[in-house]
């Protein structure tokens, strides 16, 4: 009941940008309070595998996630934040796996502590091997590689630092996918002031701003990421968030052409993807139909849902229904000027792309089955 149906408002971006923060918040609260609740999703929805979620491995969070997924036709899901072997989170994730079996898959993460120790690369490569034995299907590397992890000299670790090579090689040997979150939205590198089109989000999450300080540029981060892809042609990579460049479909198109070892997911990026002409986006999805995965990036943690990004007021289960419905509407219909799933990511509407049946089936189910669940 509290989400803004921002398309029905007349909050255009220049007007928003001109506002200072308090009126913006008040306007947001007002609009977020006036949305009509959409009907509960119908039964007999097309099954979807959500390849990118973050469900805290605790009973209540798992139960809540399952309830949301059942209602929204999410038949299987893959959590990208299982932690590392030896951590409490990883052990708890193994218990979830035992409970849920085939419905659930998980990617482990790296432990950056000790990065300056010459033994670190081998330690993490061995940990990856152990994680694979215990059922992990991949390794997810968060955006702190390139933007947060620092070595003893105080410098940010480069995305293609040679210390990562043994881990990438081990992933290839094990058939583990390496999911990369490299850099972040373009405007997060711009000044976080009212002229920034995602000012509201940056106001709520100041740590998402990479403006100034010693952060590398977005282009530098992409170049390093691409060198990593080139250095490890036998490793299969998953560029989450449309390889973190949904702002430039042509770039991602070329990236997929240049690196056959790369897949992408669309998680939390429909607002950006939908800013391009629908026909162009549709062509992109058809061209790369075997290499794009559905992912929502939903976060279900104790007492909290996150639906693609932060929101002004806490999200509830009906917001999660609306979130998944907005995804379906974008991919399954040809509706014009629809609301995208994550209002705070942009005060604009998008045109849906109505994927052909067979492409939709690959995107929703088959690509994840093959890549993550290893099913033909």
- Does the CA dihedral 97-102-104-105 come out positive or negative? positive
Backbone φ and ψ of 138, nearest 5°:
-175, 180
Cα diameter, the chain? 57
| Residue with Cβ nearer Zn ion (178 or 352) | 178
To the nearest whole angstrom, how small is the minimum distance from the Cβ of residue 197 to Zn ion?
Answer: 22
Residues touching Zn ion: how many (CB under 5 A)?
1
Q: Does 339 bind Zn ion (CB under 5 A)?
A: no
Stretch that binds Zn ion, among 242-250, 294-302, 307-315, 346-354 (CB under 5 A): 294-302
Q: Does 265 bind Zn ion (CB under 5 A)?
A: no
Q: Tokens 């010459």 appear where?
A: 118
- Contact partners, residue 213, CB within 8 Å, separation at least 6: none
CA distance 184 to 74: 27
To the nearest whole angstrom, how small is the minimum distance from the Cβ of residue 54 to Zn ion?
Answer: 6
Stretch that binds Zn ion, among 20-28, 130-138, 168-176, 289-297 (CB under 5 A): 289-297
CA distance 105 to 134: 11
Closest residue to Zn ion in the complex (CB): 297
| Residue with Cβ nearer Zn ion (297 or 329) | 297
To the nearest whole angstrom, how small is the minimum distance from the Cβ of residue 48 to Zn ion?
Answer: 17
What does the block give as tokens for 53? Answer: 């979620």
| Residue with Cβ nearer Zn ion (168 or 307) | 307
To the nearest whole angstrom, how small is the minimum distance from the Cβ of residue 301 to Zn ion?
Answer: 12
Query: Which residues in 121-191 belong to E strands, given as ranges?
Result: 138-141, 177-180
To the nearest whole angstrom, how small is the minimum distance from the Cβ of residue 299 to Zn ion?
Answer: 8
To the nearest whole angstrom, how small is the minimum distance from the Cβ of residue 360 to Zn ion?
Answer: 23
Q: Does 297 bind Zn ion (CB under 5 A)?
A: yes
Q: Tokens 């993550």 appear where?
A: 372
CA distance 296 to 316: 16
Half-sphere exposure of 364 (CA within 13 A, CB side): 22
Footprint on residues 48-87 left by Zn ion (CB under 5 A)? none
What does the block give as tokens for 202? Answer: 């940056």
| Residue with Cβ nearer Zn ion (24 or 266) | 266
| Residue with Cβ nearer Zn ion (201 or 351) | 201
Binding residues for Zn ion, rule: CB under 5 A, are 297
């Amino acid at each position: 009941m509290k989400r803004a149906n921002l398309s029905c408002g007349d909050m255009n971006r220049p007007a928003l940008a001109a506002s200072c923060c308090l009126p913006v918040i008040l306007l947001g609260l007002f609009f977020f309070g006036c949305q009509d609740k959409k009907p509960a999703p119908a039964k007999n929805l097309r099954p979807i595998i959500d390849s990118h979620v973050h469900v805290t491995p605790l009973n209540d969070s798992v139960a809540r996630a399952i309830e949301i997924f059942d209602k929204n036709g999410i038949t299987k899901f893959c959590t990208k934040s299982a932690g590392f072997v030896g951590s409490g989170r990883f052990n708890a994730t193994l218990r979830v796996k035992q409970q849920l079996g085939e419905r659930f898959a998980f990617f482990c993460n790296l432990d950056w502590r000790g990065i300056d120790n010459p033994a670190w690369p081998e330690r993490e490569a061995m940990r990856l091997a152990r994680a694979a034995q215990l059922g992990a299907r991949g390794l997810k590397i968060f955006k702190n590689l390139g933007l947060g992890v620092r070595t003893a000299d105080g410098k940010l670790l480069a995305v293609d630092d040679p210390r990562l090579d043994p881990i990438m090689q081990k992933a290839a040997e094990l058939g583990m996918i390496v999911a990369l979150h490299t850099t972040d939205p373009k405007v997060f590198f711009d000044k976080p002031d009212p002229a920034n089109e995602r000012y509201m989000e940056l106001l709520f999450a100041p740590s998402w701003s990479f403006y100034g300080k010693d952060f590398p540029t977005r282009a530098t981060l992409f170049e390093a990421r691409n060198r990593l892809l080139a250095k490890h042609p036998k490793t299969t990579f998953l560029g989450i968030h449309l390889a973190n460049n949904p702002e430039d479909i042509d770039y991602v198109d070329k990236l997929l052409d240049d690196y056959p070892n790369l897949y992408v997911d669309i998680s939390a990026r429909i607002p950006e993807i939908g800013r391009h002409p629908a026909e162009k986006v549709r062509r992109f999805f058809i061209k790369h139909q075997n290499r794009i995965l559905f992912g929502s990036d939903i976060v279900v943690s104790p007492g909290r849902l996150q639906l693609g990004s932060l929101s002004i007021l806490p999200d509830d289960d009906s917001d999660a229904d609306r979130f998944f419905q907005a995804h379906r509407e974008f991919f399954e219909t040809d509706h014009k000027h629809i609301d995208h799933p994550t209002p705070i990511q942009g005060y604009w509407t998008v045109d849906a792309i109505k994927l052909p049946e067979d492409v939709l089936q690959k995107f929703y189910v088959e690509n994840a089955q093959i890549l993550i669940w290893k099913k033909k």
